[in-house]
Structure 1
């Protein structure tokens, strides 16, 4: 790739040099065009196709190489071909030339710039993806902005080539028309300044700004109409009303109360939301109990013989509920009341953008933050009743360990719970529609987890789709059968006692009154908000699982900070949410933890990267503990130590990932990780060791070769390089 860039750059340099050395830039003047106008028209009259085609190619190349003179060629085109044909030829030649310049800039500079300024360009590219066509169209209409600069700058973004072309074709048309029309009077023109009078330039500026002004005006009118449909209170009870007391709502309330805003927190069920009551806390308690059983079976590896563990499922679930009960006070109404938050229990309904009804009570607030969370998605399988389906919500009411469990879904929840039940003694079949577990992760990551699950007896059915549920094979067997369809069209039948759905989650948006307020949802059911988490109403915000795209507790907390700060201080400054260094962990065994880009994502986005891999089998602490299976992968900018992403597979991966997350957040490169003292022996040393692998691959071979020669000379000479001053005196 780098060699191709050099060849392209060399070719362009030669052409540009030839252009100036030949004096073509001096020939392209208004006086010369007027003096030779008759000659040009004679050539065109004798060979119209050759002159027309040659003019088209020359114009396109000059625009593509950003050479001066396009304006004068436009005038010449108007003089030669007339207004109609001149506008047609020059319009397409200029658009194709601009696209060529766009592609040259993209090929030569976008990759290196993205590697160097990934964070800054990420926000720009999000804006380009959202409204790039409108901005480009505006710039094309305003002649104050040099077109060649626009071509080059846009080439550095991720705008689609087709979008750039058609917007340029349309946006440059009015300006091209003005110059082509002026070219018909080429003989009477005294200067180029006479073409674009101040009045004409002002007109173009107004035309160019019109799309932006129209958009802002439409949005303002829309917001005003929405607001006028409701009575705005003259005063408010609260600065913020938060709907939902899950992780997002709790953090939003905490932050608002900490800065002395008056806050009401509305929750219809238990405080703590899914994370405390049905998600993170109970699942990790179950995973811990299952790991103890697994470690008992594996104890003989260390010379300790415990035999097959006796699983008391009632005791396991008691441990789970005890863990929830111990964490609950952290999220309790009493604690948040002590922080200054008014905790209101009940169903919240937005009557107006400023009024939230909870039962008979109406809360008025300057701002509302919706943090209503999400619930497990359930596939409508023919043949199964809704009350027969287990989800991450109702799983914790199980009183008996399922002998035969089928898990539908090979994402983090399905893998964690499926493995845990297998370790506790269930016969587990796991069905996943994709060709691998954890479909968002790289293939080698999924393979490591798949191998671990299979070793523990989990039967994996990858690339399979659940079709229906049928009665059991016999009257004596009270189980049922899940029919699955493989990728080749064949079917298989899995007998089960209980079926666990783990196919994702869907946002809780019903019952809040959002449709009446005109607050839309996206195709996936989440609330439609902008990058600052603001809805169509300037005072209604949303965060957490109800928004996505990452339904993780720490992602919800991250969003909650932005939603709260933007709501309270948005008149001064609003902050867009960045997910560049957002970590995610699947708490299976081996654990899978990642932050930043995976290989798959980098390739999909066209981001060049260098891969460094370190095997945990080389880590002393992992060897001593018997946890030496797994690896660390780090993606860096080619030739640089800046981290683009990191993935850890193995024991304690989630804890080790924190080092890489901090490094990405604070722009710490691998060189500084390598220079940091880590305790020995510890798992954290894997981060330093990974940095060492990278450093070894980038050692300065030429310098080392000279050092080898130097030391060889020192050994042969036998003399010290420096003589002590006292030795000289003696």
Structure 2
């Protein structure tokens, strides 16, 4: 494997999801000759089977729930009917309307050469592309970015091979062929995907059972957040079974089947018409020539802090790498992959993971950033916790959404923000102010002194800062002020 004396491209990017698209865009923007290779639909999982379809479905489910509860506001609607094919039509329409943002035409216009085909590394500098419409190309590049994404985990459970199950990738085609939501839906996995889809499908008419082997849902989040989400799901009719392990499956002659579950009190069977596996995702590493080049360790691709593999000019970004499988993290890493790939021999940049926000789009929404109470306890980090309940917020009250809370972790005795978690309407939007404050070192005092429009949900951020300020009022100075004002009244 000798390095070529010259190269066809400055960079080849394999995979056109968020990480690949952004990497290719950045390379083109700095006038590098870049080729983007994708075998499937442009936009990757996020556009086609992940963020976009799931949030479109969640929106439809929320509208249905608002219609059901309209009577609480004096609005008579009558019975709510779910036209499920039209719901799925909205999902498909959302994908179609966003698709041009990630299209071949757009990226070609931006200066990226887009090849639709299957890419495989032949050696560290050469990529073979088997084109979808026939033919084959061999291209060399000074830098290569791997952005092949991840795929759903399918556990080796007895009887599962007999079940016509779906994953987060195959769910959408199955739902598109239905006249109504599945009558009995079983979802394995109490992470963000399982929680979001269980609530949405329950609101759209399914009898949903959500099974999680851990003692609670959303194990990454703090216990109070997980408890609030569990309460919300159950209020929407989801049967939540935490601490339950799936043992084996039995297929039914008419479709669907049953699962045997084990928990502390014994075993039980749950019947279902459709099974969704939402047990996490694993890096997609097979079929790209990585194993043949010795780039995998125990089936995983290893990268350093600069996203470089064992071949420093081959970098990786997005779900393939982790450790955070978020679309916004894939885009964040893509900048480092592109810049380090193109200019790393002159100046390289270590990926900044100091602020990684995340959200769970249940209703009410969950959002968090920075250190959690759970992490602080595990790491032995001393923190102060300030809370503000949204049941006290004027805007939440008038909107009928007075539920949830904001929680801020600070350094003891200081207003420096170490972490934020919130659950409530539009939390994924509201947390942006805290992210900005943490990014630029603005403490709660600065946030408190910032004017917020009344009445808005964003005032919750200011009132949380106000609660911190009251807890840290200067007692000695206040005593002197009290004496001063008493003297002034004489």
TM-score by length of structure 2 reads 0.96
Residue of structure 1 aligned with 2:183, choices 397, 400, 403:
403
Q: Verify the 8 A CA contact 2:19 2:317 in the aligned structure 1.
A: yes
Q: How many residues in Structure 1 have an aligned counterpart in Structure 2?
A: 481
Matches within 5 A, 1:477-556: 478-488=255-265, 490-521=266-297, 525-556=299-330
More helix, by proportion: 1
Q: Tell me what 1:389 maps to.
A: 165
Note the alpha carbon deviations across 1:639-687, whole angstroms, 9 max, x for none: 1111110001011110001111111111111110011111111111111
How far off its partner does 1:232 sit?
Answer: 1.6
Q: Verify the 8 A CA contact 2:256 2:275 in the aligned structure 1.
A: no
Task: Return closer, same or farther for 1:432/1:240 CA change in 2, 3 Å cut-off.
Answer: same
Residue of structure 2 aligned with 1:353, choices 116, 120, 124:
124
Residue of structure 2 aligned with 1:420, choices 200, 208, 211:
200
Q: Verify the 8 A CA contact 2:162 2:250 in the aligned structure 1.
A: no
Whole-Å separation in 2 of the counterparts to 1:526 and 1:628: 45
Whole-Å separation in 2 of the counterparts to 1:564 and 1:372: 15
Q: Tell me what 1:107 maps to.
A: none
**Unpaired runs of at least 5, structure 1:** 1-229, 717-730
1:587 and 2:361 aligned: yes
How far off its partner does 1:478 sit?
Answer: 4.9
1:431 and 2:211 aligned: yes
Note the alpha carbon deviations across 1:175-208, whole angstroms, 9 max, x for none: xxxxxxxxxxxxxxxxxxxxxxxxxxxxxxxxxx
Whole-Å separation in 2 of the counterparts to 1:589 and 1:433: 23
Residue of structure 2 aligned with 1:272, choices 29, 43, 55:
43
Whole-Å separation in 2 of the counterparts to 1:498 and 1:526: 32
TM-score by length of structure 1 reads 0.65
Whole-Å separation in 2 of the counterparts to 1:461 and 1:438: 13
How far off its partner does 1:418 sit?
Answer: 0.6
Whole-Å separation in 1 of the counterparts to 2:431 and 2:36: 33
How far off its partner does 1:441 sit?
Answer: 0.9
Residue of structure 1 aligned with 2:58, choices 284, 287, 291:
287
Q: Secondary structure at the match of 2:366?
A: strand
Task: Return closer, same or farther for 1:471/1:349 CA change in 2, 3 Å cut-off.
Answer: closer
1:310 and 2:81 aligned: yes
Q: Tell me what 2:451 maps to.
A: 677
Whole-Å separation in 1 of the counterparts to 2:255 and 2:44: 35
**Unpaired runs of at least 5, structure 2:** 131-135
1:328 and 2:77 aligned: no
Q: Verify the 8 A CA contact 2:28 2:111 in the aligned structure 1.
A: yes
How far off its partner does 1:278 sit?
Answer: 0.3
Q: Based on CA coordinates, which of the two structures has the bigger radius of gyration?
A: 1
Q: Aligned-residue CA RMSD in angstroms?
A: 1.2
Q: Tell me what 1:299 maps to.
A: 70
Whole-Å separation in 1 of the counterparts to 2:219 and 2:327: 20
Q: Secondary structure at the match of 1:707?
A: helix
Query: Mean alpha-carbon deviation: is it higher for 598-607 or for 305-314?
Result: 305-314
Structure possessing the higher relative contact order (Cα contacts under 8 Å, 6 or more residues apart): 2
Residue of structure 2 aligned with 1:600, choices 374, 396, 402:
374
Whole-Å separation in 1 of the counterparts to 2:162 and 2:282: 16
Whole-Å separation in 1 of the counterparts to 2:304 and 2:41: 29
More strand, by proportion: 2
Whole-Å separation in 2 of the counterparts to 1:271 and 1:393: 15
Matches within 5 A, 1:229-268: 230-268=1-39
1:341 and 2:112 aligned: yes
Query: Mean alpha-carbon deviation: is it higher for 601-610 or for 362-371?
Result: 601-610
Q: Tell me what 2:133 maps to.
A: none
Matches within 5 A, 1:637-652: 637-652=411-426
Residue of structure 2 aligned with 1:464, choices 236, 244, 249:
244
Q: Verify the 8 A CA contact 2:163 2:251 in the aligned structure 1.
A: no
Whole-Å separation in 1 of the counterparts to 2:39 and 2:294: 23
Q: Tell me what 1:448 maps to.
A: 228
Q: Verify the 8 A CA contact 2:149 2:283 in the aligned structure 1.
A: yes
Query: Mean alpha-carbon deviation: is it higher for 230-239 or for 384-393?
Result: 384-393
Whole-Å separation in 2 of the counterparts to 1:658 and 1:308: 38
Q: Verify the 8 A CA contact 1:526 1:548 in the aligned structure 2.
A: no
Q: Verify the 8 A CA contact 2:163 2:257 in the aligned structure 1.
A: no
